[in-house]
């Protein structure tokens, strides 16, 4: 689904990294730094804006699972994987020779390249070439697509993806854009929100609730693969925010006073 016609929207991608914990499905989330201009202080999924380097030809030459994707979808998948690597150190990529997924030892060896990527000294295509890697975009499953309401001063066109976190990758916040991180069950996220312990923006809360319908990773990914993606562009109607019922969320409207937290 291309959204190239929406002039003024900032393309962005978000990734829901999930694993099976002792008590059920867990998702990795980070707390945004208070100085970040978007969602400061909020508990969010790792993600961010698409970079110009995400669409470079050098990336197209080193990616698995991009067959048939238009430029918009391609850039979203690359951005999701790049942001997860930059922000929490999880890299969904394969060795170009063996085809094996990057393991913990390889991650350690790649750390200088990650630091350069974070400092904008390298683009993702450079990292792939220098590291001898291919992006594993085939490990991403589209989960949701949200567009910021048109009355907001800054509007994002955001694709949410679901991916099983590699078992030996140690996800952790970067200390820059995010200042804390947690593996947490969806039900715990909602409980902490209701207890006033967390700040969570409306799209994040809706997708946490959606994810919480699954008891484990296999069910979450399997469900997402067969569920159509309905674009959600909330509409403000008086003091209420409305979203389309066909998007499949637990609610279709929300008081504006509840949208931030």
Could you read off the pLDDT of 77-105 as tens digits, one per residue?
999 999 999 988 899 999 999 999 999 89
Residue 67 sits in a domain whose CATH number is 3.90.79.10
Cα–Cα separations (whole angstroms), residue 19 to 22, 29, 88: 10, 12, 15
SS3 of residue 98 by DSSP = coil
Residue 124 placed within a domain? yes
- Tell how strand 47-49 and strand 10-21 pair up: antiparallel
- Which residues form the domain of 85? 10-228
Residue 5 placed within a domain? no
pLDDT at position 116 over 90: yes
Residue 21: count other Cβ atoms within 10 Å of its Cβ.
Answer: 14
Residue 67 placed within a domain? yes
- Overall domain count for the chain: 1
Return d(Cα 43, Cα 56) in angstroms, integer. 31
Cβ–Cβ under 8 Å, residues 154 and 38: yes
pLDDT at position 175 over 60: no
Residue 245 placed within a domain? no
Residue 210 placed within a domain? yes
User: How far is residue 213 CA from its own chain's centroid?
Assistant: 18
pLDDT at position 34 over 80: no
Return d(Cα 3, Cα 117) in angstroms, integer. 27
Mean pLDDT of 153-164: 95
Worst-scoring range by mean pLDDT, 17-26, 34-43, 129-138?
34-43
Residue 79 placed within a domain? yes
Q: For residue 115, name the pLDDT band (cuts at 50, 70, 90).
A: very high
Which pLDDT does position 32 carry in this prediction?
Answer: 67
pLDDT at position 16 over 90: yes
Residue 215 placed within a domain? yes
Residue 120 placed within a domain? yes
Cβ–Cβ under 8 Å, residues 240 and 256: yes
pLDDT at position 54 over 50: yes
Mean pLDDT of 22-33: 88
């Amino acid at each position: 689904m291309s959204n190239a016609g929406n002039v003024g929207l900032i393309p962005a991608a978000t990734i829901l990294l999930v694993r099976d914990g002792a008590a059920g499905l867990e998702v990795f989330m980070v707390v945004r730094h208070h100085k970040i201009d978007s969602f400061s202080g909020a508990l969010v999924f790792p993600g961010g804006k698409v970079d110009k380097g995400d669409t470079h030809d050098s990336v197209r030459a080193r990616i698995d699972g991009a067959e048939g994707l238009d430029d918009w979808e391609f850039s979203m998948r690359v951005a999701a994987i790049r942001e997860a690597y930059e922000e929490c150190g999880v890299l969904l990529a394969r060795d170009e020779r063996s085809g094996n997924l990057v393991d913990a030892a390889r991650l350690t060896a790649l750390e200088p390249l990650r630091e350069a990527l974070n400092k904008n000294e390298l683009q993702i295509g450079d990292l792939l070439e220098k590291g001898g890697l291919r992006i594993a975009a085939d490990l991403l499953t589209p989960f949701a697509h949200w567009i910021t309401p048109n009355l907001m001063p800054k509007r994002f066109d955001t694709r949410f993806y679901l991916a099983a976190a590699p078992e030996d990758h140690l996800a952790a916040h970067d200390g820059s854009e995010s200042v804390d991180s947690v593996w947490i069950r969806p039900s715990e996220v909602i409980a902490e929100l209701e207890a006033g312990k967390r700040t969570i923006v409306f799209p994040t809360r809706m997708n946490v609730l959606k994810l919480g319908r699954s008891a484990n990773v296999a069910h979450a990914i399997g469900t997402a693969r067969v569920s159509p993606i309905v674009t959600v562009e909330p509409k403000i109607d008086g003091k209420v925010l409305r979203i389309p019922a066909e998007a499949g969320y637990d609610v279709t409207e929300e008081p504006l006073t509840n949208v931030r937290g």
